[in-house]
A and B are shown apart, each in its own frame.
Chain A
Amino acid sequence: MATLEPPKTIMNDDGQPNGEVPDLSQDALLDMYEAMVTTRLLNERGMKLQRQGRIHFYVGSMGQEASHVGFGAALKETDWYFPHYRDTGVAVLRGASIEEMVHQCYGTAEDHIQGRQMPNHYSFKDINFYSISSPLSTQIPHAVGAAYAAQIKDDDVVTGVAFGDGSTSEGDFHVAMNFAGVWNTPTVFLCQNNQWAISVPTEKQTASESFAIKAKAYGFDGVRVDGNDVLALYQASREAVEKARNGGGPTLIEAVTYRMGPHSSSDDPDRYVPQEDLEAWSNRDPIDLFQAFLHEQNHLTESEDEALRERIKDEIQAGVESAENAEGPTIDSLVEDVYAQVPWHLREQADDLKRFYGERPDMDGGH
């Protein structure tokens, strides 16, 4: 991929604009920054809780905060978002509370999905944040189908869908791209190219010159953007979203970024990630860049930044305390939501289990 043009950027390495800055209010800029910082701080705490055995897993997004937040910020709240599992920042941006996310990671009774999914696999229908699935790429056709439905209902709704570079190898990615092209759906695809699919580098994933170019074969545009530059991501996403909203059809955005942490708490990247790559990319940390920009443009003072981080940490701490003291889900919750109504055999199975565990099993030593 060496001969490619560099991806679109707006901020230089010091966070100074070297291109046209998108027209965003100070509040909007600060909301994006807060979502990015929250994602980072949750990530740090989540990994720590996992190491302490308080929760059992965490999948972070260190280095990718700009990629998804810049994209998410370009969508309206009424637009449906189909997330990749690293997209905590978009949930935050749309108003998910830290507390509910921490409860989800602990899988408590207050988690509104009742401890059914692994940590970080959120679902927030009230803010149009779709349920996260582990099987990769499965959400991509869903985003195309939902966009088609919105279109025939004449709703002013665009769908945004995010996934990783590795996920573009699955059939679901290709069928979704093809359907979107044929149906000309209002769908914006975000490929977060963090250079790795667990241990597999992009050159073993595709022989295409980029991920963005794949759109061409499906009959629409692909753009390559600096994924660590939240303003560049926002700008490219806004153009794509507007185009989709105006009947111009789908776009694929490739956010060129780097996974700055392990794949997940189960992974040991020292086995395969070259140290020098990590060092090189850490000079373009997306949060540092944006922070420098906000300081320079007088949107955020150092003490305001400090206060913001303290507030977020306090909220996380409060969430952790609440989750640590919460009860676990009930046995009945196991058999609910399998179907609209609990059928007789599931009722029987739950009642049988209660002979062994009572109504609500004890949650000891973490959840």
Chain B
Amino acid sequence: MTLVEAVNDGLNTAMHEDDRVVVLGEDVGVNGGVFRATDGLYDAYGEERVIDTPLAEAGIIGTAMGMALYGLRPVPEIQFLDFIYPGFDQIVNEVAKIRYRSGGQYTAPMVIRTPYGGGIRGGHYHSQSSEAYFAHTPGLKIVIPSTPTDTKGLLLASIQDEDPVMFLEPKRVYRAVKEDVEEGYYETEIGEARIAREGDDVTVIAYGAMLHVALQAAQTAEEEGVSVEVIDMRTLVPFDKDTLEASVKKTGRAVLVQEAPRTGGFMGEISAFLHERLILNLEAPIQRVTGLDTPFPYTLEEEYLPTPTRVLDAVDEVLSY
């Protein structure tokens, strides 16, 4: 099963188990979503629960919030993360703050699903990786899977979570990674990272599509005699401090990979956290490999995005410090 099929399976499983779950968004019904993430749901659950909305992200998020207040479990889809901004106010000022603002009287548990990231020749507006805006907003959980198995388990856990979750799907690997995925209902815990590959010399931390870049780099490093531990964060907020700390304590060296622009990116937070906690365990300053501080380009997207070569270069740098 591919990653996007795992999204579909997760949604189908959730809708089957829990009739509070509704899906809404642009082209999610008859068309089954522009990436086919909601394929078949319209036929299976009908137009009342699988809603082709008017074209307005503020409306999608705002009405989803109303549904959540009233007890449904909406799973709004935003067609591309790049198009979420008309709904940004609803997300950061309303969805994220309602529990706090009402002293817990009202809550808006919902899962905002959206494909993110580059590598599909999408230019400025079909490639952004703007998770940091949301990570900077207290009240939102941020989940970013990188494998089909995690995608399904994390999606199901997100839908049952009592808090709103931003569920960012790495569209670059929607169809690139395939694996057998457990049938039926299972949850993967939010807030737990995964050691994607064990190693001793250096820790590479990544999430989403970049996890696969990190793994490729680790493979090449091994051929050169360097043992790389790769950690898949899976949840950015709240992140798994124990797994990160234990790994970096062990290796004493870390390289952090994100495709988002460098300035204000989430890996800056992880770098600060590790330096604050582990300065005496570190053998070298932690390095970041990131996208550029530019809008996402079209022709030169391969050059913009972190590659295994650039990750290896940073691995060399922390090893030879």
Bitwise, B29-62 to A at CB < 8 A (1) or not (0) is 1111010000000000000000011111111000
User: Is B55 a contact of A136 with CB atoms below 8 Å?
Assistant: yes
Bitwise, B292-318 to A at CB < 8 A (1) or not (0) is 111101111011100101100100000
User: Is A171 a contact of B310 with CB atoms below 8 Å?
Assistant: no
Assuming A328-B299, A334-B300, is B294 touching A271 (CB within 8 A)? Answer: no
- In the bound assembly, the distance between CA atoms of A115 and B302 in angstroms comes to 13
User: Is B83 a contact of A135 with CB atoms below 8 Å?
Assistant: yes
User: Is A205 a contact of B121 with CB atoms below 8 Å?
Assistant: no
Q: How many A-B residue pairs have CB under 8 A?
A: 127
Closest-by-CB residue of A relative to B54 is: A169
A175 CB, min distance to chain B CBs, angstroms:
11
User: Is B303 a contact of A334 with CB atoms below 8 Å?
Assistant: yes
User: Is A118 a contact of B55 with CB atoms below 8 Å?
Assistant: no
User: Is B122 a contact of A118 with CB atoms below 8 Å?
Assistant: yes
Bitwise, A119-148 to B at CB < 8 A (1) or not (0) is 001000000000001111000000000000
B65 CB, min distance to chain A CBs, angstroms:
16
> A206 — which chain B residues lie within 8 A by C-beta?
54
> B199 — which chain A residues lie within 8 A by C-beta?
none
Assuming A116-B124, A329-B300, is B294 touching A335 (CB within 8 A)? Answer: yes
User: Is B55 a contact of A116 with CB atoms below 8 Å?
Assistant: no
Which residues 172-220 in B have Cβ within 8 Å of A in the complex? none
User: Is A346 a contact of B31 with CB atoms below 8 Å?
Assistant: no
User: Is B124 a contact of A117 with CB atoms below 8 Å?
Assistant: yes
User: Is B52 a contact of A169 with CB atoms below 8 Å?
Assistant: no
Bitwise, B275-305 to A at CB < 8 A (1) or not (0) is 0000000000000000011110111101110
User: Is A197 a contact of B300 with CB atoms below 8 Å?
Assistant: no
User: Is B309 a contact of A200 with CB atoms below 8 Å?
Assistant: no
> B298 — which chain A residues lie within 8 A by C-beta?
107, 115-118
A91 CB, min distance to chain B CBs, angstroms:
18
Answer whether residue B126 sits at the interface, using C-beta atoms and an 8 A cutoff: yes
Answer whether residue B106 sits at the interface, using C-beta atoms and an 8 A cutoff: no
User: Is B27 a contact of A200 with CB atoms below 8 Å?
Assistant: yes
- In the bound assembly, the distance between CA atoms of A169 and B121 in angstroms comes to 27
> A121 — which chain B residues lie within 8 A by C-beta?
123
- In the bound assembly, the distance between CA atoms of A149 and B23 in angstroms comes to 43
User: Is B303 a contact of A353 with CB atoms below 8 Å?
Assistant: yes
Assuming A335-B292, A338-B295, is B300 touching A115 (CB within 8 A)? Answer: yes
Answer whether residue B163 sits at the interface, using C-beta atoms and an 8 A cutoff: no
Answer whether residue B133 sits at the interface, using C-beta atoms and an 8 A cutoff: no
- In the bound assembly, the distance between CA atoms of A175 and B82 in angstroms comes to 21
Q: Which of B53, B303, B304 has the most CB of A within 10 A?
A: B303
> A199 — which chain B residues lie within 8 A by C-beta?
27, 29-31, 52
Which residues 82-140 in B have Cβ within 8 Å of A in the complex? 82-83, 85-86, 121-126
Answer whether residue A80 sits at the interface, using C-beta atoms and an 8 A cutoff: no
- In the bound assembly, the distance between CA atoms of A44 and B248 in angstroms comes to 55
Answer whether residue A198 sits at the interface, using C-beta atoms and an 8 A cutoff: yes
User: Is B59 a contact of A169 with CB atoms below 8 Å?
Assistant: yes
> A357 — which chain B residues lie within 8 A by C-beta?
303
Closest-by-CB residue of B relative to A268 is: B31
B174 CB, min distance to chain A CBs, angstroms:
13
Bitwise, A242-270 to B at CB < 8 A (1) or not (0) is 00000000000000000000000011000
Which residues 168-199 in A have Cβ within 8 Å of B in the complex? 169-172, 197-199
> A136 — which chain B residues lie within 8 A by C-beta?
55, 83
- In the bound assembly, the distance between CA atoms of A172 and B87 in angstroms comes to 12
A197 CB, min distance to chain B CBs, angstroms:
5
A327 CB, min distance to chain B CBs, angstroms:
10
Answer whether residue A220 sits at the interface, using C-beta atoms and an 8 A cutoff: no
> A200 — which chain B residues lie within 8 A by C-beta?
26-27, 52, 54-55
> B309 — which chain A residues lie within 8 A by C-beta?
356
Residue from A135, A205, A266, A345 in contact with B82 in the complex, judged by beta carbons closer than 8 Å: A135
Answer whether residue B250 sits at the interface, using C-beta atoms and an 8 A cutoff: no
Answer whether residue A237 sits at the interface, using C-beta atoms and an 8 A cutoff: no
User: Is A345 a contact of B293 with CB atoms below 8 Å?
Assistant: yes
Assuming A117-B298, A200-B55, A361-B303, is B292 touching A334 (CB within 8 A)? Answer: yes
User: Is B299 a contact of A367 with CB atoms below 8 Å?
Assistant: yes
User: Is B26 a contact of A361 with CB atoms below 8 Å?
Assistant: no
- In the bound assembly, the distance between CA atoms of A118 and B59 in angstroms comes to 27
Closest-by-CB residue of A relative to B296 is: A116
Assuming A115-B299, A204-B54, is B304 touching A334 (CB within 8 A)? Answer: yes
> A107 — which chain B residues lie within 8 A by C-beta?
298-299
User: Is B85 a contact of A135 with CB atoms below 8 Å?
Assistant: yes
User: Is A116 a contact of B123 with CB atoms below 8 Å?
Assistant: yes
Bitwise, B222-238 to A at CB < 8 A (1) or not (0) is 00000000000000000
Assuming A135-B125, A169-B55, A346-B293, is B31 touching A198 (CB within 8 A)? Answer: yes
Answer whether residue A167 sits at the interface, using C-beta atoms and an 8 A cutoff: yes
- In the bound assembly, the distance between CA atoms of A117 and B124 in angstroms comes to 6
A75 CB, min distance to chain B CBs, angstroms:
26
- In the bound assembly, the distance between CA atoms of A188 and B262 in angstroms comes to 41
B213 CB, min distance to chain A CBs, angstroms:
14
Residue from A116, A197, A349 in contact with B26 in the complex, judged by beta carbons closer than 8 Å: A197
Closest-by-CB residue of A relative to B85 is: A135
User: Is A171 a contact of B124 with CB atoms below 8 Å?
Assistant: no
Answer whether residue A331 sits at the interface, using C-beta atoms and an 8 A cutoff: yes
- In the bound assembly, the distance between CA atoms of A335 and B293 in angstroms comes to 8
Bitwise, A154-173 to B at CB < 8 A (1) or not (0) is 00000000000011011110
User: Is B124 a contact of A169 with CB atoms below 8 Å?
Assistant: no
- In the bound assembly, the distance between CA atoms of A107 and B86 in angstroms comes to 28
Q: Can you list 6 contacts pairing A with B, beta carbon distance less than 8 Å?
A: A116-B297, A206-B54, A334-B294, A334-B304, A345-B293, A356-B309
The chain B residues found within 8 Å of chain A, CB to CB, are: 26-27, 29-32, 34, 52-59, 82-83, 85-86, 121-126, 262-263, 292-295, 297-300, 302-304, 307, 309-310, 313
The chain A residues found within 8 Å of chain B, CB to CB, are: 56-57, 107-108, 114-118, 121, 133-136, 166-167, 169-172, 197-200, 204-206, 266-267, 271-272, 328-329, 331, 333-335, 338, 345-346, 349-350, 353, 355-357, 361, 363, 367
Given contacts A118-B123, A338-B295, 16 further A-B contacts (CB under 8 A): A116-B124, A118-B125, A118-B126, A121-B123, A134-B82, A134-B125, A135-B85, A135-B86, A166-B54, A169-B54, A169-B55, A169-B59, A170-B56, A200-B54, A266-B34, A367-B299
